[in-house]
Chains A and B, each alone.
Chain A
Amino acid sequence: MRPILLSGHERALTQVKYNADGDIIFSVSKDHVVCAWFSHNGERLGTYHGHVGALWTVDVDPTSTLLATGGADNTIRLWEVRTGKQLKSWEFGTAIKRVEFSPDGRQLLGITEKRQGHLSTIFVYEINPDPSAEQTDEQSLRIVCDEAKATVAGFSYGAKYIISGHEDGTVCQWDAKSGEFLDSVQAHEADMQVTDLQWAPDRTYFITASKDKTAKLMSTNDLEILKTYTTDTPLNSAAITPVKDFVILGGGQAAMDVTTTSARQGKFEARFYHKIFMEEIGRVRGHFGPLNYVAVHPKGTGYCSGGEDGYVRVHHFDKPYFDFMYEVEREQQANL
């Protein structure tokens, strides 16, 4: 496996994302620029300019026509993927920590930071998927998180629920139509921030990563904790791999403590766990800073990770990855 190193950013990566077909990777970093890359060879398709602050988040709609980004300049911007043209900018009182499109791409969710007297809010915009159309300024939904600020959120299958992860380690379920609070679970240790929430391909379950060094697989409907993956380092990101039943966890010593640790001690590795057996099956080294985000190719053929070191590393899995099976899995396959 020869990783492709993407060095288009000058500062720490904050999020990387594949589009629905997996041929383009979008990356955002603290250097204000959004980059689009072809995943198969690492060629840069282009850059999106306009933001004037560190970027925290990016998401692309299912048809790869619209791109949403949010960052510390208190704006969410909508871009045309193909040309790099900015279509819309929404202004907020505080920084944007997360954006995500609904599965049909007609809704866009955003989370604002809690600061300067503003409470953290989750809001939803209706999106017109036509790039030439005028986008609305009106929020179709507002959820104010007055207890603990939301850090991550996403739409469930069919945009039925909004699931959010919070600063205090809880995971909440909201009705995506009415904004009504439905359920809440203390999934992670108290006061340990939920750092990432990524969906399974069908969005009936998801994985959360937390600073409490664990990642949890949870069901969308009743927020039941299905699996727990325990590591020895604070986690920044977790992803579920299609095709093979694995999860990839990324993390490492917090960025501010990095200078005091060597690369080896810092545990800057992507960790692969078996999704069902919750056992670690391998690690991929390479970054020399914590991994801030890991994203899996939607077809399960590879993954990419964005690190605090400013690099995106794109990996295409090779044969041993696909061949690997536990003894019981092999037996089961033989019996079929």
Chain B
Amino acid sequence: MSRVAGRTDWAEEEDEDSLQLPQTQITKNKDGTETIVTFSIREDGKKVKTTRRIKKTTIKQVVDPRVAERKQWEKFGQEKGKPTGPQTDTTSIAENIVFRPVANWKASAEDKSETEKKKANLKDAKIKCRICSGDHWTTKCPFKDTMAPEGGDAAAPIDDAPEAAGGLGAGGSSYVPPHLRGRAGAGEKMGGKFERDDLATLRVTNVSEFAEEGDLREMFSRFGHVTRVFLAKDRETGRAKGFAFVSYADRDDAAKACEKMDGYGFGHLILRVEFAKKAT
């Protein structure tokens, strides 16, 4: 194709590019393979050199003469006039299927499905309590009665926010009509139950991360009947988060424990014990 100098026709330009491309090189290697180097231009205009090493093997197949003859048959019906070879509209290759017959297939399949089930369970187990960040549902939280949902920081689980949030109800979720907001005074809106629990609950901080609930219960039950011990744990590592709550049946016991246990050395740390702040 001859080129006219100074012509800037787009069609001509294309040709120019292809003219600049080096010829395809085919080299025969010693090991019987062929190396094919081709040059092409990508959509973004960059030149690409492709090197392919190909090994050609001749596969001999003995075919029945009847079968061979049938392969030469002309296509008919809807396929009439179509070129040889599978047509993409009717024939496609599905994804690979591993089919490996095994004796006692049923048992092995059941085993597999069971392990899969367990895996699925583990995946589902990402449960986080909104109150104490423990790995249980919020409704199952042992402190749902004594604590408001956590604001985010694990070290400050007692949230004073609802008061500030325009009196929009305790727990931060339920709507309180405006005419009731004024009445939302301390202690009144959550009822007596909270009061009682709060009064006898100690907040223990600076707890060793290797502490167990059992250890705490043992230590604190010296001062009276402990109704519950809750140790906040990280749901991923399973280690203690460094704080715990201990509830007593009696407020006097709680006061005694608070006094005695504050500053008590437990593990390598010194405990800090105080009365849990009210949720509101």
**Chain B residues within an 8 Å CB radius of A44:** 75, 78-79, 86-87, 90-91
Q: Give the distance to chain A from B76, nearest Cβ to Cβ, in Å.
A: 4
A residues 30-51 touching B (CB-CB < 8 Å): 33, 37-38, 41-49
A residues 80-115 touching B (CB-CB < 8 Å): 82-84
Q: Is A158 an interface residue (CB 8 A)?
A: no
- Flag if A43 contacts B95 (CB, 8 Å): no
- Flag if B79 contacts A45 (CB, 8 Å): yes
**Chain B residues within an 8 Å CB radius of A43:** 84-87, 91
Q: Is B67 an interface residue (CB 8 A)?
A: yes
- Flag if A4 contacts B100 (CB, 8 Å): no
**Chain B residues within an 8 Å CB radius of A84:** 76-77
Mask: chain B, 53-66; 1 = CB below 8 Å from A; 0 = not: 00000000000101
**Chain A residues within an 8 Å CB radius of B10:** none
CB-CB under 8 A for A5 and B78, given A82-B73, A326-B103: no
- Flag if B77 contacts A46 (CB, 8 Å): yes
Partner of B105, one of A21, A41, A46, A281: A281
**In the complex, what distance in Å separates the CA atom of A195 from the CA atom of B87?**
33
**Chain B residues within an 8 Å CB radius of A4:** 86, 91-94
Number of interface residues of A (CB under 8 A): 46
Q: Give the distance to chain B from A151, nearest Cβ to Cβ, in Å.
A: 29
Q: Is A239 an interface residue (CB 8 A)?
A: no
Q: Which of A118-126, A139-147, A162-170, A282-290 contacts B (4 or more CB under 8 A)?
A: A282-290
Q: Give the distance to chain A from B123, nearest Cβ to Cβ, in Å.
A: 18
**In the complex, what distance in Å separates the CA atom of A21 from the CA atom of B68?**
11
Closest A-chain residue to B100, C-beta based?
Answer: A320
Q: Give the distance to chain B from A315, nearest Cβ to Cβ, in Å.
A: 8
Q: Is A211 an interface residue (CB 8 A)?
A: no
Number of interface residues of B (CB under 8 A): 35
**In the complex, what distance in Å separates the CA atom of A64 from the CA atom of B68?**
13
Q: Is B1 an interface residue (CB 8 A)?
A: no
**Chain A residues within an 8 Å CB radius of B79:** 44-47
Q: Give the distance to chain B from A304, nearest Cβ to Cβ, in Å.
A: 12
**Chain A residues within an 8 Å CB radius of B64:** 21, 23
**In the complex, what distance in Å separates the CA atom of A23 from the CA atom of B105?**
31
Closest A-chain residue to B103, C-beta based?
Answer: A326
- Flag if B90 contacts A282 (CB, 8 Å): no
- Flag if B85 contacts A41 (CB, 8 Å): yes
Q: Give the distance to chain B from A289, nearest Cβ to Cβ, in Å.
A: 15
Q: Is A8 an interface residue (CB 8 A)?
A: yes
Mask: chain A, 265-285; 1 = CB below 8 Å from B; 0 = not: 000000010000001111111
Q: Which are the 6 A-B pairs with shortest beta-carbon distances?
A: A47-B77, A46-B76, A84-B76, A42-B91, A324-B101, A281-B101
- A residues contacting B by CB (< 8 A) are 1-8, 21, 23-24, 33, 37-38, 41-49, 64, 82-84, 246, 272, 279-286, 313, 315, 317-318, 320-321, 324, 326-327
Task: Provide 10 A-B residue pairs closer than 8 Å at the C-beta atoms, listed in order of the A residue.
Answer: A3-B94, A5-B93, A43-B86, A45-B75, A47-B77, A64-B70, A282-B105, A283-B109, A320-B99, A321-B99
| Known contacts A8-B90, A320-B101, then 10 further A-B pairs from the complex at CB < 8 Å, ordered by chain A residue | A2-B96, A3-B94, A4-B93, A7-B90, A38-B71, A42-B90, A43-B86, A84-B77, A279-B105, A326-B103
